[in-house]
Structure 1
Amino acid sequence: MLQEFLDWAYARHTNTLSWYIRPLFVLPLAYFAWRRSWKGIALTIVALLTSMFWFPPPQQVDPQVQAFLDMEKELILNIGELSPLYLLSVLAVVGSLTALCLAFWRRSLGWGLVIINLIAVLKVAWSISEGGDSGWAVLLPAAVGLLLCDLAIIWAARRLHLPISLRRPRTATGPGS
């Protein structure tokens, strides 16, 4: 039964529409971190983890996409043989999402943008490093997602008159401050 579910989910993961929407989960994640909503952050993480099988399987799978997903599947299936690189990759994902939430929790749009851009660059670099030529399949969805996230955050900052800075926002310290 578990294998049937995994096969069902994997077939849907080959639909690259999910590859394009997944980076956009950065926006609600940032929003809920800014609002300091643990519930919103948790729901966004659940949505992010399930989004890979929201779409139907494609009629035809790009061979580069298939090769990349086969590489990822092989890594996951060999989880018993945890290599240091695999463990580092998992820690990098958890750490980067934690850093992203922390940046917005602390109201730093500048650091949030730095982390978003770093996540996208590292995702592409890891994909090419681990997947070889098939890793390039990640480039366009990551670039589109990055561009949309950056533009949305910059637009919101300008609309709400929020500074985009790497410095911590000042707080009033007393009368007349």
Structure 2
Amino acid sequence: MTSPAGRAVRDRGLRLLDRLRPLTTHRARIAQQEDPRLLRDALVRSLEGRDMSSIAEWVDALGTWAWDRHHNILSWYVRPLFLLPFCYFACKRSLIGIVLTLVALATSMAWFPAPDRPDPAVVDMLRAERDYLLGEWTAAKVAIALLVPLMFAALALALWRRSIRWALVVINGAVLFKIAWTFWFGDTQGALAHLTPALAGLAAVNVAIVVAGRRLNRRRSAPALPERTA
């Protein structure tokens, strides 16, 4: 069954397509005339007025739909686990894999259906996050926000150089900082709701990385097989 937010996204998307259909036909006729100036003017007109407002409404409905689904506690348990494929692709030095993992992490908040009755503690925690993001941005908030890309960059660099120890330092430092943030900016119940998924994910990631690191060290220390002579 589609949720009300999902139906709103779908309906606004259909209305947007209906409004853009005449403009698309008009652009096709202009393209046949092979006049770049007319094509440019048509593109400008297509992005003005009601079309831009329709796009804004659709984006707003999409954000509301994703935010409602983020209230599903399963997304909180899944998100820390994305550190595992990120670490794997960093060890493999695969930029494409790293980028795809970050895209999956960003969209994972909307992977699970919105709960019929969200946990009040989850609601309180997400409300605190929303108020924080929509509030006034001070220099301190900008500095805290910059820690996120810096953490991923430091983690990728550590594993790019095959340093399991520094990777664990970065991961544990980042997760513990996020836990401290929830207790500082959120209320106690909301922070406790975040604490269990965060610690469970951190434990799973630590175990997986330690095991992978030991296997990597055994491969490095294994003696090379002697070459066979004819």
> Do they superpose with TM above 0.5?
yes
Give aligned-pair identity as a percent: 45
Question: Which of the pair has the greater relative contact order for Cα pairs under 8 Å at 6+ separation?
Answer: 1
Residue 144 in structure 1 maps to residue 144 in structure 2 = no
The 3 A distance-change label for structure 1 pair 162 and 65 is farther
Aligned length: 161
Query: What residue is the counterpart of 1:120 in the other structure?
Result: 175
What is the CA deviation profile of residues 121-159 of structure 1, one whole-angstrom value per residue up to 9, with x for unaligned ones? 001001111113122221111100000000011112223
What is the TM-score normalised by the length of structure 2? 0.67
Backbone CA RMSD of aligned residues: 1.4
What is the TM-score normalised by the length of structure 1? 0.86
Distance 2:140 2:105 in 1: 23
What is the CA deviation profile of residues 35-68 of structure 1, one whole-angstrom value per residue up to 9, with x for unaligned ones? 1111000000000000011000112211111011
Distance 1:77 1:162 in 2: 49
Query: What residue is the counterpart of 1:156 in the other structure?
Result: 212
Give 1 or 2: higher helix fraction.
Answer: 2
Distance 1:162 1:91 in 2: 37
Query: What residue is the counterpart of 1:71 in the other structure?
Result: 128
Selected match of 1:106 from 161, 176, 182: 161
Selected match of 1:94 from 149, 160, 172: 149
Extract unaligned runs of 5+ from structure 1: 164-177
Query: What residue is the counterpart of 1:3 in the other structure?
Result: 60
Deviates more, 1:131-140 or 1:142-151: 131-140
The 3 A distance-change label for structure 1 pair 123 and 42 is same
CA contact (8 A) 2:124 2:187 kept: no
What is the CA deviation profile of residues 93-134 of structure 1, one whole-angstrom value per residue up to 9, with x for unaligned ones? 111111111111111000001111111100100111111312
CA contact (8 A) 1:124 1:136 kept: no
Distance 1:162 1:105 in 2: 18
Residue 136 of structure 1 aligns to which amino acid in structure 2?
Answer: L
Residue 132 of structure 1 aligns to which amino acid in structure 2?
Answer: D
CA contact (8 A) 1:24 1:149 kept: yes
Distance 1:15 1:117 in 2: 24
Query: What residue is the counterpart of 1:132 in the other structure?
Result: 187
Deviates more, 1:66-75 or 1:9-18: 66-75
- Over alpha carbons, which structure has the higher Rg? 2
